[in-house]
C-alpha cells in the first residue's frame, strides 16, 4: 500500500493506482472530462491537473501514479488558474447554446464550468462552426437513425470513439482531421448502425451526441428516474427509465458491474417506446359473432370464469392448459402456475413457444439437464477458451458478447474464441477458429469432435474405462469422412478444432437459440456436456456449459415451474414430499400426475382432449415454428383467452383478450440467463384498464372463491422464497444492489455465481454417448433455411418500437453471393421463398456470412411470417427461391 496526502487528507491505496483514484477514495472532487472508468486513459482534456509537491509542472490526476509520501494539492492558486484556463479554452469554440441543448442539466461542461470556470469570456474572435447556417444554432448532423451529432459542442474527449473501439469493437464512427479541425463523424452515407451506439450518447460529456428519440421533449431534471430491468434479451441489463406524466422518455443504463458494466445495447436503450405504442390494449375485448369488441373487466371475468368452470366440469381439469410467459415477471408466472395447479387443478403448463420440440424439464440438479448458465457473466472474464456453439451470440445477447470480447482481447493471455455455427456471426472477426456447419448436422459435428479427441488420445483421464469404451463403440458409426460430408467442414478443420478444445486450460461452452429451439436440442446439449467431460473440464473452475435463454425472463419462467412436471424450484410433480410441502404452503391440493408440455398441449388440442387454453404474454402464432399447425390447432379450441399488452396475432384468434401491464408498469423480478434475480420498479400507471398479469389472475382467483391476499408483487416474491429453496434468500429489499444469483438458500446466502459440482444432487456426471438423426436431402427445395434474431430485433415485441423499426425497418433474406449469382439475384431484389409449408416474399441481401446452399431470414418482423415456412416435425427447413417479377 502507498500512503499519500491529498489536500491534507491522508489516504492509502494500492501501488499502481492514480491520484484520481486515490482522490475518489477520500472524497476529493477532481473534475474530469475524458476520463472514464471503463476506458483506457487518454489524458487529453487536462481538466484534472493537480499540483504535486516537488514536481514543477502540474500533473494530470488521471494518469499520474501515486508514490509513497506524495503530497497532492487540488486547490492551490496554480491549479485553480489552470482549471479556469482549460474551461475557458473549452468554451471558446463551444456555441454556448445551452438553452437549446438537449444535454442541459446533465452536461459535464455545464457542471464543471459552474464549479470551476469563470463567468466571463475573453474570447472576441470568431468561433469555429461545422455547418454554416447562420439562421440557426442547430448545427445538427444526423449520423444514424437515432443519433444526432453537433460538432460545435464537441470537446474532443473521444470517449465515443474510444468506447466503440475498446469496448464494442465497432468502426462505424470515427475521428477525422486534426487540431481544432478534428471532428467526430461517420463515413459519408454510411450511418452509424452498430447496436452499442447509444452508449456514446450517454457517455458524451456534452451535447455533441444526442439521441433523436429524447431530444427536445423534456428537460432531464423534470423526469422521474425509475430503476428497471431491460425487457428484451436474457442478459438482464439494468435500466433507468425516465418518466414524466405517465409517459416514458428514455431508457439509460444503470451500471451493474456484474451484468452490464454500464453499457447497454440500443435495443434496450431505445426500445422503451413500445410501452407507449398507440396499439396497446387498454380494456378487455370479447369475441362476439366472430369479431372482437371492446368490453370491461366485469364482463370479461364472468365470461372467463364461466368458460373455465364449464370446461373443467364438462371434460376435466386436464382439458385446461396454460402458456406462461418468458416476458412476464417471476411473480406473474408464479401466480399463473399456482392458479392453474391449485384452482383449476391442471399441470398442463409450458411457455417455450419457439422450440420445435421442448427440452425435458430440468431436475434440481442432475447433469446434464441443467438448462441455464453454470458460469456467471462476470466469470466470463476469467475464461481461457470459449466455445460458442449454435448461437448468434452478438445478436441474441449483445452485452454478454461484450464480456466475451473483453475476455478474448484482454491484454494478458486473452481467451481463445471458438465458434461453431450454421452461419458467420459478428464474432468471426475475433475468433481463433470458426466452423460453419450445415444446419441440422450439429450432433454429427459434436460426435466428430469427440472422435478426434478419442482417436488422438486427448481424452480426459478422469473418465472411467467403461465410459471410454462405450464412447468408442458409439463413435464407430461416425467416421470423420461422414461427419465432414454431413457438416460440410473439412476433416482437417474438425481435427484442428477438436485439438484446440482438448488442450484448452479451461472451457466455457455457450449455446443459444439454434440449439435450444432445435428438434434435437436434448441430444445436442448432452453431446456438448460429453465434450466437457471428454476433455476433463466438467465441474472445473472457469469451465462449464451455458445455455443462454433468449428472453428477459425465460429462466424465471422455468424457475417458477411453468412446466408440466416441475413445481417452482424444479421440484418434480411426482415427488410426494416436495409436492406435499407445497400443498401445505398453498393450502390446496396439486394434481399428482405430470401435465402436458407445449408440444403435447398442441397435440391434445388436436386430439380434442384439451379444450381451453389460457395464454399469458405470449404469441405462438408468431413464434411457434410451424404457423399453419399452430393456426389450425388454436382454432380447434373451445375457448382461448389471451392476456397481453398488444392485440397480437394470437390475441386476434382469441375468444377473450385481457389487457396486461408492460414491464414499465409493474413491479416484480426477472431472472436473467446467469440465474440473477433482479428487481424492477414501476415507472408508469398501465394504460386504460390494463393490469399487471399477477393482479388479473389474483382478481380472477378471488372471484372464483379463492381469496388472494397479495397487495404487492414483492409479497409474491416473498412467497416464492418460501416455496422454492433456490430462491430461499431472495427478498425484494436484498435486490437493490445488483441482484442475487440462485441458488440463494437463505437470507445470509449471497447467492452462487458459478454452479459447481457441489451444487448438484448427483455431484458428478457421466459421459453418456448420444446418437443423432441425419437431415434428409431434398432437391426440390435446395436451400437450408435458418432463422434467428437480429441485434436490433429480438423477441416478439421489438417491432412495436418505432425507434427500433427506424433502425432496421424490414426483414430480408441473406443469401451467399455465389448462390445469388446463379439465381441472377441482386441486393434488394424481391424473392419468393417457398417451403413445403408456405411461401413469403422478401428482399434479398447478398452476404457471405451464409454459406452457399443456406439462406437466413430473421424472425420478429411483423410483415414477414417466417414461421409459415417452418415445419415443426423436420430437423431442418428447406426452401427454394425464385425471383419475383
Partner 1 sequence: MITKETEEKIRSLKGKYPKIKTCVLPVFHILYQEKGCVDKEGIQKVSELLGIPLLELYEVLSFYVFFPAGKVGKYWIRVCDNLSCSLLGAESIIKYLEEKLKIRVGQTTPDGLFTLSTEECLGSCGTAPMMMVNEEFHENLTREKIDKLIEELSKR
Partner 2 sequence: MPEKIVFKHIDEPDQHRIDTYLKNGGYKALAKTLKELSPAQVIDIVKKSGLRGRGGAGFSTGAKWGFVPVNSPKPKFLICNADESEPGTFKDRELIEKDPHQLIEGIIIGSYAIGAHISFIYIRAEFGFGAKRLEQAIREAYEKGYLGKDILNTGYDLDLILFRGAGAYICGEETSLLSSIEGIRPLVRLRPPYPAVSGLYGCPSNVNNVETLSNVPHIILNGAEWFASIGTPKSTGTKVFCLSGQVNKPGNYELPMGTPLRELIEVYGGGMRDGKKLKAFIPGGASSWVMPASKIDVKLDFESVAEAGSALGSGGVIIMDEDTCLVRATLRLVKFYEFESCGECTPCREGTYWLSKIMQRIEDGKGRMEDLDLLLDLSDNIYGKTICPLGESATMPITSTIEHFRQEYEDHIKNKRCPFEKEFNSSRV
**Interface residue list for partner 1 (CB under 8 A):** 171-178, 186-187, 190
Q: Does 57 bind partner 2 (CB under 8 A)?
A: yes
Q: Are 368 and 544 in contact (CB under 8 A)?
A: no
Restricted to residues 569-628, the positions that interact with partner 2 (CB under 8 A) are: none
Residue 448 in grid coordinates: 466428430
Closest among 81, 36, 137, 106 to 250, alpha carbons compared: 106
- If the CB atoms of residues 176 and 216 are measured against partner 1, the closer one turns out to be 176
Q: Are 773 and 702 in contact (CB under 8 A)?
A: no
- If the CB atoms of residues 114 and 171 are measured against partner 1, the closer one turns out to be 171
- If the CB atoms of residues 122 and 181 are measured against partner 1, the closer one turns out to be 181
Q: Which of 9, 38, 46, 215 binds partner 2 (CB under 8 A)?
A: 46
DSSP state at residue 73 = E
Q: Which residues, at least 6 apart from 727, have a Cβ–Cβ distance to it below 8 Å? A: 559, 568, 569, 677, 720, 721, 742, 744
Q: Which of 44, 105, 536, 852 binds partner 2 (CB under 8 A)?
A: 44
Residue 3 CB, nearest distance to partner 2 (Å)? 21
- If the CB atoms of residues 54 and 57 are measured against partner 2, the closer one turns out to be 57
Q: Which of 58, 192, 223, 292 binds partner 2 (CB under 8 A)?
A: 58
- If the CB atoms of residues 169 and 659 are measured against partner 1, the closer one turns out to be 169
Residue 506 in grid coordinates: 479451461
- If the CB atoms of residues 26 and 41 are measured against partner 2, the closer one turns out to be 41
Residue 404 CB, nearest distance to partner 2 (Å)? 22
Q: Segment near partner 2 (CB under 8 A), from 90-98, 204-212, 367-375, 786-794?
A: 90-98
- If the CB atoms of residues 41 and 756 are measured against partner 2, the closer one turns out to be 41
Q: Are 272 and 241 in contact (CB under 8 A)?
A: yes
- If the CB atoms of residues 78 and 652 are measured against partner 2, the closer one turns out to be 78
| Residue 90: contacted member of partner 1, partner 2, none (CB under 5 to 8 Å, by partner type) | partner 2
Q: Is the peptide bond before 743 cis (omega within 30 degrees of 0)?
A: yes
Q: Does 545 bind partner 2 (CB under 8 A)?
A: no
Residue 294 CB, nearest distance to partner 1 (Å)? 52
- If the CB atoms of residues 190 and 217 are measured against partner 1, the closer one turns out to be 190
- If the CB atoms of residues 183 and 396 are measured against partner 1, the closer one turns out to be 183
Question: What order of strands is seen across the sheet that includes strand 247-253?
Answer: 224-229, 238-244, 247-253
How far is it, in rounded angstroms, from Cα 615 to Cα 348?
12
Q: Does 65 bind partner 2 (CB under 8 A)?
A: yes
Give 22: exposed, middle or buried? Use CB within 10 Å, 0-12, 13-18, 19+. Answer: buried
- If the CB atoms of residues 172 and 310 are measured against partner 1, the closer one turns out to be 172
Q: Segment near partner 2 (CB under 8 A), from 173-181, 334-342, 604-612, 740-748?
A: 173-181
Q: Does 47 bind partner 2 (CB under 8 A)?
A: yes
| Number of residues lying near partner 2 (CB under 8 A) | 37
The total of other beta-carbon atoms located within 10 Å of residue 486's CB is 20
Residue matched to cell numbers 446434464: 368
Residue 853 in grid coordinates: 446452399
How far is it, in rounded angstroms, from Cα 690 to Cα 645?
8
Residue 129 CB, nearest distance to partner 2 (Å)? 13
- If the CB atoms of residues 114 and 180 are measured against partner 2, the closer one turns out to be 180
The total of other beta-carbon atoms located within 10 Å of residue 92's CB is 15
Residue 161 CB, nearest distance to partner 1 (Å)? 9
Q: How much helix, strand and coil, in percent to the nearest 5, is found in the chain?
A: 35, 20, 50
How far is it, in rounded angstroms, from Cα 113 to Cα 110?
5
| Residue 339: contacted member of partner 2, partner 1, none (CB under 5 to 8 Å, by partner type) | none
Residue 126 CB, nearest distance to partner 1 (Å)? 20
| Residue 631: contacted member of partner 1, partner 2, none (CB under 5 to 8 Å, by partner type) | none
Q: Which residues, at least 6 apart from 352, have a Cβ–Cβ distance to it below 8 Å? A: 326, 358, 359, 554, 598
- If the CB atoms of residues 186 and 308 are measured against partner 1, the closer one turns out to be 186
Q: Does 120 bind partner 2 (CB under 8 A)?
A: no
Q: Which of 179, 278, 290, 705 binds partner 2 (CB under 8 A)?
A: 179
Residue 171 CB, nearest distance to partner 1 (Å)? 4
Restricted to residues 181-240, the positions that interact with partner 2 (CB under 8 A) are: 181-182
Q: Does 128 bind partner 2 (CB under 8 A)?
A: yes
Q: Which residues, at least 6 apart from 762, have a Cβ–Cβ distance to it below 8 Å? A: 365, 366, 367
- If the CB atoms of residues 58 and 453 are measured against partner 2, the closer one turns out to be 58
| Residue 187: contacted member of partner 2, partner 1, none (CB under 5 to 8 Å, by partner type) | partner 1
- Which helix (H) or strand (E) is 521 found in, with range? helix 521-534
Residue 331 in grid coordinates: 411473480
Closest among 672, 686, 693, 589 to 334, alpha carbons compared: 693
How far is it, in rounded angstroms, from Cα 169 to Cα 166?
6
The helix/strand/coil state of 645 is coil
Residue 60 CB, nearest distance to partner 2 (Å)? 8
- If the CB atoms of residues 169 and 379 are measured against partner 1, the closer one turns out to be 169
Give 806: exposed, middle or buried? Use CB within 10 Å, 0-12, 13-18, 19+. Answer: middle
Residue 856 CB, nearest distance to partner 1 (Å)? 23
Q: Which residues, at least 6 apart from 728, have a Cβ–Cβ distance to it below 8 Å? A: 721, 722, 743, 744, 745, 746, 749
| Residue 49: contacted member of partner 2, partner 1, none (CB under 5 to 8 Å, by partner type) | partner 2
Q: Which of 19, 49, 107, 698 binds partner 2 (CB under 8 A)?
A: 49
Residue matched to cell numbers 408483487: 713
Restricted to residues 148-167, the positions that interact with partner 2 (CB under 8 A) are: 155-156
Question: Taking CB under 8 A as the rule, which mask of x and - marks residues 4-43 in contact with partner 2?
Answer: -------------------------------------xxx
Q: Is the peptide bond before 365 cis (omega within 30 degrees of 0)?
A: yes
Q: Does 802 bind partner 2 (CB under 8 A)?
A: no
How far is it, in rounded angstroms, from Cα 11 to Cα 3?
6
Give just the sign of the alpha carbon dihedral 490, 492, 497, 501. positive
Residue 430 CB, nearest distance to partner 1 (Å)? 13
Give 469: exposed, middle or buried? Use CB within 10 Å, 0-12, 13-18, 19+. Answer: exposed
User: Which stretches does DSSP call E strand in 30-132?
Assistant: 49-52, 59-60, 71-73
| Residue 111: contacted member of partner 1, partner 2, none (CB under 5 to 8 Å, by partner type) | none
Q: Which of 6, 22, 28, 45 binds partner 2 (CB under 8 A)?
A: 45
How far is it, in rounded angstroms, from Cα 338 to Cα 669?
17
How far is it, in rounded angstroms, from Cα 333 to Cα 323?
10
| Residue 173: contacted member of partner 1, partner 2, none (CB under 5 to 8 Å, by partner type) | partner 1
Q: Segment near partner 2 (CB under 8 A), from 120-128, 399-407, 435-443, 806-814?
A: 120-128
Q: Does 48 bind partner 2 (CB under 8 A)?
A: no
- If the CB atoms of residues 88 and 172 are measured against partner 1, the closer one turns out to be 172
| Residue 171: contacted member of partner 2, partner 1, none (CB under 5 to 8 Å, by partner type) | partner 1
Q: How far is the CA of 550 from the CAs of 427, 507, 553, 679, 836, in angstroms? A: 18, 22, 8, 19, 28
- If the CB atoms of residues 53 and 313 are measured against partner 2, the closer one turns out to be 53
Q: Segment near partner 2 (CB under 8 A), from 85-93, 263-271, 490-498, 564-572?
A: 85-93
Which residues are near partner 2 by CB under 8 A? 41-47, 49, 56-58, 60, 63, 65, 81-82, 85-86, 88-90, 92-93, 122-123, 125-126, 128, 155-156, 175, 177-182
Amino acid at each position: 500500500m502507498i500512503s499519500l496526502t491529498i489536500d491534507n487528507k491522508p489516504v492509502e491505496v494500492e501501488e499502481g493506482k492514480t491520484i484520481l483514484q486515490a482522490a475518489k477514495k477520500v472524497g476529493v472532487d477532481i473534475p474530469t472530462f475524458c476520463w472514464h472508468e471503463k476506458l483506457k486513459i487518454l489524458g487529453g482534456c487536462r481538466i484534472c491537473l493537480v499540483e504535486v509537491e516537488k514536481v514543477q509542472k502540474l500533473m494530470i490526476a488521471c494518469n499520474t501514479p501515486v508514490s509513497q509520501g506524495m503530497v497532492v494539492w487540488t486547490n492551490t492558486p496554480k491549479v485553480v488558474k489552470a482549471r479556469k484556463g482549460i474551461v475557458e479554452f473549452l468554451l471558446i469554440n463551444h456555441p454556448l447554446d445551452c438553452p437549446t441543448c438537449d444535454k442541459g442539466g446533465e452536461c459535464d461542461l455545464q457542471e464543471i464550468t459552474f464549479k470551476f470556470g469563470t463567468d466571463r469570456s475573453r474570447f472576441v474572435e470568431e468561433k469555429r462552426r461545422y455547418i454554416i447556417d447562420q439562421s440557426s444554432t442547430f448545427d445538427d448532423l444526423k449520423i444514424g437513425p437515432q443519433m444526432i451529432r453537433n460538432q460545435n459542442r464537441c470537446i474532443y474527449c473521444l470517449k465515443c470513439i474510444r468506447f466503440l473501439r475498446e469496448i464494442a469493437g465497432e468502426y462505424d464512427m470515427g475521428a477525422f482531421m486534426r487540431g481544432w479541425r478534428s471532428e467526430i463523424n461517420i463515413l459519408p452515407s454510411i450511418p452509424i448502425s452498430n447496436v452499442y451506439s447509444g452508449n456514446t450518447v450517454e457517455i458524451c460529456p456534452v451535447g455533441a451526441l444526442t439521441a433523436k428519440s429524447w431530444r427536445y421533449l423534456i428537460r432531464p431534471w423534470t423526469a422521474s428516474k425509475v430503476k428497471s430491468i431491460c425487457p428484451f434479451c436474457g442478459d438482464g441489463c439494468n435500466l433507468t427509465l425516465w418518466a414524466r406524466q405517465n409517459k416514458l422518455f428514455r431508457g439509460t443504463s444503470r451500471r451493474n458491474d456484474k451484468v452490464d458494466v454500464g453499457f447497454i445495447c440500443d435495443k434496450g436503450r431505445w426500445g422503451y417506446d413500445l410501452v407507449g405504442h398507440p396499439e396497446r390494449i387498454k380494456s378487455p375485448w370479447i369475441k362476439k359473432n366472430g369479431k372482437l369488441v371492446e368490453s370491461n373487466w366485469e364482463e370479461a371475468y364472468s365470461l372467463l370464469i364461466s368458460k373455465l368452470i364449464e370446461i373443467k366440469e364438462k371434460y376435466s381439469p386436464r382439458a385446461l392448459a396454460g402458456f406462461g410467459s418468458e416476458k412476464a415477471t417471476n411473480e406473474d408466472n408464479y401466480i399463473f402456475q399456482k392458479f392453474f395447479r391449485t384452482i383449476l387443478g391442471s399441470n398442463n403448463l409450458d411457455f417455450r413457444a419457439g422450440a420445435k420440440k421442448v427440452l425435458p424439464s430440468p431436475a434440481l440438479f442432475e447433469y446434464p439437464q441443467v438448462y441455464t448458465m453454470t458460469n456467471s457473466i462476470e466469470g466470463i472474464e476469467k475464461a481461457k477458451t470459449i466455445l460458442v456453439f449454435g448461437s448468434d451470440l452478438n445478436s441474441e445477447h449483445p452485452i454478454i458478447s461484450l464480456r466475451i470480447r473483453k475476455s478474448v482481447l484482454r491484454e494478458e493471455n486473452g481467451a481463445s474464441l471458438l465458434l461453431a455455427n450454421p452461419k458467420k456471426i459478428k464474432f468471426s472477426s475475433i475468433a481463433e477458429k470458426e466452423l460453419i456447419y450445415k444446419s441440422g448436422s450439429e450432433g454429427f459435428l459434436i460426435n466428430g469432435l469427440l472422435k478426434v479427441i478419442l482417436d488422438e488420445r486427448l481424452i480426459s483421464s478422469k473418465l472411467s474405462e467403461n465410459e471410454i469404451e462405450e464412447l468408442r463403440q458409439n463413435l464407430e458409426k461416425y467416421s470423420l469422412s461422414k461427419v465432414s460430408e454431413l457438416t460440410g467442414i473439412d476433416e482437417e478443420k474438425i481435427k484442428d478444432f477438436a485439438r484446440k478444445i482438448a488442450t484448452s486450460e479451461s472451457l466455457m461452452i455457450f449455446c443459444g437459440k439454434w440449439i435450444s429451439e432445435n428438434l434435437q436440442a436434448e441430444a445436442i446439449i448432452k453431446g456438448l456436456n460429453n465434450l466437457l467431460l471428454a476433455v476433463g473440464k466438467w465441474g472445473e473452475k472457469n469451465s462449464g456449459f451455458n445455455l443462454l435463454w433468449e428472453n428477459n425472463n425465460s429462466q424465471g419462467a422455468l424457475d417458477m415451474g411453468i412446466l408440466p412436471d416441475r413445481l417452482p424450484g424444479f421440484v418434480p410433480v411426482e415427488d410426494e414430499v416436495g409436492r406435499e410441502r407445497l400443498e401445505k404452503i398453498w393450502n390446496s391440493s396439486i394434481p399428482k400426475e405430470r401435465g402436458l408440455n407445449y408440444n403435447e398441449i398442441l397435440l391434445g388440442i388436436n386430439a380434442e382432449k384439451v379444450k381451453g387454453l389460457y395464454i399469458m404474454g405470449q404469441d405462438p402464432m408468431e413464434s411457434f415454428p410451424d404457423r399453419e399447425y399452430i393456426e389450425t390447432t388454436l382454432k380447434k379450441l373451445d375457448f382461448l383467452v389471451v392476456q397481453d399488452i398488444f392485440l397480437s396475432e394470437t390475441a386476434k384468434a382469441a375468444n377473450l383478450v385481457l389487457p396486461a401491464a408492460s414491464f414499465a408498469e409493474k413491479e416484480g423480478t426477472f431472472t436473467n440467463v446467469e440465474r440473477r434475480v433482479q428487481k424492477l420498479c414501476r415507472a408508469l400507471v398501465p394504460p386504460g384498464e390494463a393490469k399487471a398479469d399477477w393482479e388479473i389472475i389474483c382478481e380472477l382467483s378471488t372471484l372464483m372463491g379463492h381469496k388472494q391476499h397479495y397487495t404487492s408483487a414483492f409479497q409474491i416474491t416473498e412467497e416464492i422464497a418460501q416455496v422454492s429453496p433456490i430462491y430461499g434468500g431472495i427478498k425484494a429489499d436484498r435486490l437493490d444492489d445488483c441482484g442475487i444469483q440462485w441458488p440463494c438458500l437463505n437470507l445470509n446466502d449471497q447467492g452462487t455465481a458459478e454452479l459447481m459440482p457441489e451444487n448438484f444432487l448427483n455431484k458428478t456426471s457421466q459421459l453418456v454417448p448420444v446418437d443423432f438423426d441425419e437431415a434428409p436431402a431434398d432437391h426440390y427445395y435446395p436451400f437450408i433455411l435458418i432463422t434467428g434474431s437480429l441485434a436490433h430485433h429480438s423477441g416478439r415485441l421489438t417491432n412495436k418500437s418505432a425507434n427500433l423499426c427506424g433502425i432496421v425497418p424490414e426483414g430480408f433474406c441473406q443469401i451467399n453471393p455465389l448462390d445469388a449469382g446463379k439465381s441472377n439475384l441482386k441486393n434488394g431484389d424481391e424473392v419468393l421463398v417457398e417451403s413445403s409449408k408456405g411461401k413469403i416474399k422478401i428482399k434479398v441481401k447478398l452476404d457471405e456470412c451464409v454459406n452457399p446452399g443456406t439462406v437466413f431470414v430473421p424472425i420478429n418482423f411483423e410483415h414477414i411470417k417466417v414461421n409459415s415456412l417452418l415445419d415443426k416435425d423436420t430437423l431442418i427447413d428447406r426452401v427454394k427461391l425464385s425471383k419475383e417479377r
